[in-house]
Structure 1
């Protein structure tokens, strides 16, 4: 089974994916951003745009995930924002055509909720203290610029299943996904502090400097 966790940039995809992996033995996270940024870095600076526009990225993601699903016994978890219906068909749709059990979930939240999360993720909190409260949003300009588009597009029926996350925790969102997918997660034994530290470390590990 493949769990594709979609959502706006800053919507909690990565945190949710790693929470599921932590509590679901045998599962792995396969992040399509890795080949995406690699392909982007191969291009001259003036040609670097959205790597999802590259056919090689879309085809490569399908090829690698097809291999992972065929060769790995556990659940494969993919945290990746895809809002273009054509690209969605060429990735999620194509994997389903290949016979894989793909469960897709779009994490949604109110605009202000996502903006607040963007201020807190990665190094944003540190920059907030050093350079002022608006500095993190300048660093996350790509995510902010595309936020309204992502929320509008991902709210369409073709991007269901929709999960609203404004008033829930990462752990509970992971549990909702597991229930909908027919999976059983190990109990969450993190206290409030330990959970916060774990999420902070996950955020630091996934900082992008591209």
Structure 2
């Protein structure tokens, strides 16, 4: 089974994926973003656009996930934002055509909720500390520029199943996905402090400067 966790940038995909992987024995995370950034770095700076526009990314994601799903016994988790219906069909749709059990979930939240989460992410916390509490580094971020488009597109029926996350925790979102997918997660035994530390570490490992 593939759990494809969609959502806006800063919407909690990576944190949720790692929470599921932590509590689901045998599961693995196969992050399509890694392939995208690798392809992007291969290009001269002036040609570096959205890697999802590259046919090689879409085909490569399908090839790699198909291999993982065929050869790996456990659940495969792919946290990745995809809002273009054509690209969605060429990735999620194509994997379904190949016979794989793909469960797709779009994590949604109100705009202000996502903006708050983006401001609290590791790199923005660092910039806020360095340049002052009134600085708005998030306004210059690519994620914020894409936010309205992502939220609008992901509300469409083809991107169901929709999960609203404004008033829930990462652990509870993981629990909801597991129930909907017919999976059983190990109990979440993290206390509040340990959970914050774990999420901070996960966020720090996924900071990108390019």
TM range (shorter): over 0.9
1:45-75 residue CA offsets vs partner (Å, 9 max, x unmatched): 1110000000000000000000000000000
The alignment's TM-score, normalised by the length of structure 1, stands at 0.98
Show the counterpart of 1:37. 37
> For 2:151 and 2:11, how far apart are their aligned partners in 1?
10
1:120-176 residue CA offsets vs partner (Å, 9 max, x unmatched): 11222122122134343046x100001000000000000000000000000000000
Show the counterpart of 2:11. 11
Number of residue pairs matched by the alignment: 209
Aligned to 1:183, the other structure's residue is in SS state coil
Show the counterpart of 2:55. 55
Moved more, 56-65 or 124-133: 124-133
Structure 1, unaligned runs of 5 or more: none
> For 1:124 and 1:192, how far apart are their aligned partners in 2?
22
Structure 2, unaligned runs of 5 or more: none
Show the counterpart of 2:202. 202
Show the counterpart of 1:170. 170
Show the counterpart of 1:112. 112
Residue 35 of structure 1, CA deviation: 0.8
Contact 2:121 2:203 in 1 (8 A): yes
> For 1:87 and 1:11, how far apart are their aligned partners in 2?
20
Aligned to 2:122, the other structure's residue is in SS state coil
**1:1-210 pair list within 5 angstroms:** 1-133=1-133, 134-138=135-139, 141-210=141-210
